[in-house]
Amino acid sequence: MQALSELFAKWPSERRRDVYENASKEQVLRVLDKQILDPMDFLTLLSKSALELLEPIAQKAHSLTLRYFGRAVNLFTPLYISNICTNQCRYCGFNAKNHLTRIHLSVDEAFQEAKALHDVGHRHILLLTGDAPKLSSPSYMADVVRAIKPFFASIGIEVYSLTEQDYAMLVQAGVDNMTMFQETYDPTLYEWLHPVGPKHDYHYRLNAPERAAKAGMRSLGVGALLGLAPYEQDTFATGLHAWWLSRSYPGVDIGISIPRICPHEGEFTVNNAVDDRHFVQYVMALRCFLPRSPITCSTRESAFMRDHLIPLGVTRVSAGVSTAVGGRGSDTQTSEGQFEITDHRSLSQMIQAIHDLGYQAVIKDWEDPTATNSACA
């Protein structure tokens, strides 16, 4: 198996830039005729020329999405269990230097929050914490997972980078899905964006999905925070990372998230904002390159954008979202959110909206094949 670093080394930023600038329309159309795409094809679909061919790319992306996912969209909701964080990510609302209410839920409080989400109808949940390894330790997370497991068919985590042993412990506790945003795949920019704290280590984070795969995680999600690096750099690197993972760990479902940077607490200038046309181009290029990969779109995006991305490749959306800690269960406090969400629809509103688009909202799409008893009995 080729190492990820060797693969990235074949695609230096100048080469990415060159294809992005200079791929021809003819080359784009030729890619659309192909059945299996390679990384060069993916980059060609991200090129300037491809931006002028969005409709034919959309036709292909739509047809592939329909073929492999049908008219069905999976739903999940995030549950923030702690916003205490030792990092100082320059773009993040939970930056340790920002003054905001810091809350760390006890296992019992997390249980109450989870129960409230279950009672509304959620069956797939994504647990999030800040990066505070002593307070929000892997064993704390495992305790929360074990406590809330009876409520959910699927439990995912989106937390700081862990060791393979810690991931294995969480898998054992009942986690089946792990999401890790690399934020940017430019190591220099990454180091500047994450000046202090455990997250400063670029490679440790980059290799986290692989450690999770080795630990037995069933599905993984990767993503770059769009707006940090130039468009073609991080979009291409994200697809390449997912492609490499799917070839290296064929038994693991590899998904992609597509977060665009949002306004938040603190000050951060977005130098490479991705506009809507480029954003849609990216989603469609991902679908053509990785036809069977789930693509997740969060409430960073508007209802309008999310609804329009469903036919083009997005297969998983969040609903009933809060990026704050606490506030759903009866007695817990509420913090400020990590970022501003722009789609405030509840679970039932989201189900209706997906139905109105001619799609089915899928609430439950997992059954733990390693469990000996089932909630569906």
The residue ranges that bind other proteins (CB under 8 A) are: 66-72, 123, 153, 246-247, 250-254, 292, 355, 358-360, 362-367, 369-377
Q: Which CB, 76 or 339, lies closer to other proteins?
A: 76
**Minimal distance in Å, beta carbon 360 to other proteins?**
5
**Partner residues linked to 361 by β-bridges:** 73
Helices (H) and strands (E) in the chain, counts: 16, 9
Q: What is the dihedral of CA 335, 336, 340, 342, to 10 degrees?
A: 50
**DSSP-based three-state secondary structure for 226:** strand
Label residue 22 exposed, middle or buried (CB < 10 Å: 0-12, 13-18, 19+): exposed
**Minimal distance in Å, beta carbon 251 to other proteins?**
4
**Minimal distance in Å, beta carbon 41 to other proteins?**
16
Q: Which CB, 29 or 72, lies closer to other proteins?
A: 72
Label residue 253 exposed, middle or buried (CB < 10 Å: 0-12, 13-18, 19+): middle
Sign of CA dihedral 85, 89, 91, 97: positive
Q: Which CB, 67 or 277, lies closer to other proteins?
A: 67
Q: Which CB, 43 or 252, lies closer to other proteins?
A: 252
Q: Which CB, 24 or 370, lies closer to other proteins?
A: 370
Place of tokens 């439950």: 364
Tokens of 130: 């800040």
Q: Which CB, 269 or 373, lies closer to other proteins?
A: 373
**Minimal distance in Å, beta carbon 221 to other proteins?**
13
Distance (Å, whole) CA 213 – CA 216: 5
**Minimal distance in Å, beta carbon 153 to other proteins?**
6
Distance (Å, whole) CA 162 – CA 199: 11
Q: Which CB, 313 or 337, lies closer to other proteins?
A: 313
**Which strand (E) or helix (H) includes residue 274?**
none
**Minimal distance in Å, beta carbon 242 to other proteins?**
11
- 2 Cβ contact list (under 8 Å, min separation 6): 244
**Minimal distance in Å, beta carbon 53 to other proteins?**
24
